[in-house]
């Protein structure tokens, strides 16, 4: 008996579009997908600061000792940003985004697992691992956004590609804070791992093959490390943004013990900061397109004023919260201006330069947290880190002015 076999069905995978064929709708979808990843990274970066008292209590640690968990994540960013960027220049950018977000998801799941072991040392290692893809992700995402941007909109598009981080502080961080308070601090990082999975799916469907983004060699990327203007910009970001984290890291203790706010209201303070970040991100991109690198100086000058003001307003719930919102706004103005300046001065080392911006911000995270912890441990109280932060912003101004003037003078000579 002859058995007639039905022809096998062939399933064709939907082809991924090329960068050359991107429509305006696809551009919007790419920005949204990039922001799902940025949202997850924003939650994991900032939520530990709000949950620090609970983490310290769970492991029987002091305030400054528990703060090292934040520093370990920042160290992972500092190490991973340049290392991953230099070694992966030949990998297509779409694939690289997927790899980085996969690693981020695994790293945060590892934090949940490490916490279940009851080992603070294991948690520290997991936070370092979770931080490794952070800088490279924002570097590649920013360059993808810049490559897809319409003429005259580069600064705004780059800023919008990372606005998910700011939105995370409005919605994600307060939500994770509540989860951590009710179900334990590990639930916040489980929440982050779920966001990471959502980002993977979004990037897979939205991002086209970036065929107009050239591959780079390690030697080309490493040239950024010997470019004075790149290094000076990194220093400006590290020093200037450190003042924000000197305050943010210990905000829960400051608002509860100094201002007298109930712990159950801290999510409102974190949300206020996030609202400031969302608005500041848009303003930062707008400033970058109009006054270029001088936007860095504007943000730093205002940062000195508002960090100093926080020393006085942090004794009052409403004034302290409003002041903290403005600090978040100014920090977010600074970020896209630093990013676009690095793109301008890096030559062919675009990817590493963009990654160094994230490394700078996380060195600021670690340095600001360490400075604030040292000030508190020295007996100066929870208000004093604001003055330490203002001093850092002032020091950054003293670096910024001659850096920009020298760069512009040399450009005139070369023209």
Nearest-10 Cα torsion for 231, 234, 236, 238:
-130
Nearest one of 229, 190, 181 to 44, comparing CA atoms: 190
Per-residue pLDDT of the chain (415 residues; tens, 9 = 90+): 444 544 444 445 556 666 566 677 888 888 999 999 999 998 998 788 778 888 888 888 876 677 778 778 888 888 888 888 778 777 888 889 999 999 999 999 999 998 888 788 899 999 999 999 988 898 888 888 877 777 667 677 777 777 888 788 788 888 888 898 888 889 999 999 999 999 999 999 888 877 666 666 666 667 667 788 889 999 999 999 999 999 988 898 899 999 999 988 888 898 898 899 889 988 988 888 888 888 999 999 999 999 999 999 999 999 999 999 999 999 989 988 898 888 788 777 777 777 788 778 878 877 898 899 899 989 999 999 999 999 999 999 999 999 999 988 887 766 5
pLDDT given at position 318: 95
pLDDT given at position 22: 66
């Amino acid at each position: 008996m002859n058995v007639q076999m039905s022809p096998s069905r062939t399933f064709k995978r939907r082809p991924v579009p090329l960068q050359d064929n991107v429509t305006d709708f696809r551009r919007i979808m790419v920005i949204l997908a990039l922001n799902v990843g940025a949202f997850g990274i924003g939650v994991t970066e900032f939520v530990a600061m709000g949950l620090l008292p609970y983490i310290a209590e769970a492991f029987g640690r002091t305030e400054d000792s528990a703060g090292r968990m934040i520093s370990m994540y920042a160290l992972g960013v500092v190490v991973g940003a340049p290392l991953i960027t230099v070694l992966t220049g030949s990998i297509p950018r779409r694939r690289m985004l997927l790899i980085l977000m996969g690693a981020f998801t695994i790293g945060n799941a590892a934090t949940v697992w490490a916490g279940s072991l009851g080992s603070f040392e294991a948690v520290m290692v997991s936070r370092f691992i979770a931080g490794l893809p952070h800088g490279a992700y924002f570097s590649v995402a920013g360059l993808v956004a810049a490559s897809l941007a319409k003429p005259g909109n580069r600064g705004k598009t780059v800023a919008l590609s990372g606005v998910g981080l700011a939105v995370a502080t409005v919605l994600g961080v307060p939500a994770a804070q509540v989860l951590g308070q009710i179900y334990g601090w590990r639930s916040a990082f489980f929440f982050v791992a779920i966001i990471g999975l959502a980002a993977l799916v979004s990037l897979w469907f939205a991002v086209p093959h970036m065929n107009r983004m050239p591959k780079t060699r390690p030697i080309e990327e490493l040239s950024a490390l010997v470019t004075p203007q790149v290094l000076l910009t990194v220093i400006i970001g590290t020093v200037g943004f450190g003042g924000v984290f000197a305050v943010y890291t210990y905000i829960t203790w400051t608002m509860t013990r100094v201002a007298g706010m109930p712990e159950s209201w801290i999510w409102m303070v974190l949300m206020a900061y996030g609202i400031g970040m969302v608005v500041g991100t848009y303003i930062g991109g707008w400033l970058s397109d109009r006054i270029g690198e001088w936007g860095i100086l504007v943000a730093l000058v205002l940062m000195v004023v508002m960090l100093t003001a926080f020393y006085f307003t942090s004794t009052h719930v409403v004034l302290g919260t409003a002041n903290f919102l403005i600090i978040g706004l100014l920090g977010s103005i600074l970020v896209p201006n630093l990013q676009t300046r690095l793109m301008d001065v890096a030559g062919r080392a675009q990817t590493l330069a963009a990654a160094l911006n994230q490394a700078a911000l996380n060195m600021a995270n670690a340095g600001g947290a360490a400075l604030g912890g040292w000030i508190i441990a020295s007996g100066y109280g929870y208000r004093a880190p604001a003055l330490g932060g203002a001093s850092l912003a002032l020091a950054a101004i003293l670096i910024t002015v001659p850096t920009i003037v020298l760069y512009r003078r040399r450009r005139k000579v070369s023209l």
